[in-house]
């Protein structure tokens, strides 16, 4: 009999293509709307810049899918869930870069190097560093000594996953019923911040349990 956690993983895998289709449809709809505001035949450069800015919309949908995937794999593999967190942070940075591209383009056109240009450089460096960290982490995960730690603590990881699922419910109720303003990035922000708190709480429990230094550093 399939466990509830396995059902969640299966459901998430089935929903992956749906998220991609929704992202493409939303982007296509935004481009159609953009054509009515900025004609590509009259202002091709302006149209292309705004098209890049609007890439933040499909990236938001993909980020939502990646976050939900992270929640479903927490109990299965600590190494995989940690790698997923690196991936989400990198995607957040890429989405943020696209979102600010219009203001960055206007600033660069005047030959300035003010706030948006500086932020863009910082984001690009951060994206490169996050990509390097992901590659290093994947290489590190191949070592048997690291895999040994990653295979332990399935019960604790299951508790973390249950906490993350509860967090999703709380975030949805808060944004939809209390704040009455649901946005994908606000939802992801609540989930990610809450998961950091959950991880930190279990890390404190590990310290109290007197685990070895290597295991504590791995969990940290």
pLDDT average, residue stretch 165-189: 87
Q: 81-92, pLDDT tens digit by residue?
A: 777 888 888 888
What tokens does 32 get?
A: 């159609």
Instruction: Look at 46 and 154; give whichever has higher pLDDT.
Output: 46
Q: What are the start-end ranges of the H helices in 38-114?
A: 44-53, 56-73, 78-99, 101-109
Q: 196-213, pLDDT tens digit by residue?
A: 888 888 778 777 766 666
Residue 220 has pLDDT above 70, yes or no: no
**Whole-prediction pTM value?**
0.72
Other beta carbons within 10 angstroms of residue 130's beta carbon come to: 19
Q: What does the alpha-carbon distance between residue 15 and residue 18 come to, in Å, rounded to a whole number?
A: 5
Residue 2 has pLDDT above 60, yes or no: no
Question: Residue 181, exposed/middle/buried by CB under 10 A (0-12, 13-18, 19+)?
Answer: exposed
User: What separation, in Å, do the N-terminal and C-terminal C-alpha atoms of the chain show?
Assistant: 35
What pLDDT band is residue 154 in, cutting at 50, 70 and 90?
Answer: low
């Amino acid at each position: 009999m399939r466990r509830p956690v396995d059902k969640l993983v299966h459901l998430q895998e089935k929903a992956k293509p749906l998220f991609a289709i929704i992202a493409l449809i939303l982007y296509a709809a935004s481009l159609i709307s953009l054509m009515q505001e900025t004609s590509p035949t009259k202002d091709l450069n302006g149209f292309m810049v705004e098209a890049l800015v609007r890439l933040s919309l499909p990236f938001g949908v993909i980020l939502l899918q990646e976050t939900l995937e992270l929640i479903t794999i927490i109990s299965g593999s600590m190494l995989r869930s940690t790698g997923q967190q690196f991936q989400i942070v990198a995607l957040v940075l890429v989405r943020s870069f696209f979102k600010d591209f219009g203001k960055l383009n206007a600033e660069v056109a005047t030959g300035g190097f003010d706030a948006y240009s500086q932020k863009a450089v910082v984001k690009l460096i951060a994206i490169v560093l996050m990509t390097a960290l992901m590659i290093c982490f994947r290489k590190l995960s191949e070592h048997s000594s690291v895999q040994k730690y990653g295979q332990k603590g399935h019960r604790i990881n299951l508790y973390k996953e249950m906490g993350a699922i509860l967090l999703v419910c709380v975030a949805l109720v808060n944004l939809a019923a209390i704040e009455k303003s649901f946005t994908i990035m606000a939802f992801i922000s609540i989930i990610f911040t809450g998961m950091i708190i959950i991880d930190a709480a279990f890390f404190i429990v590990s310290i109290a349990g007197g685990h070895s230094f290597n295991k504590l550093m791995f969990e940290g």
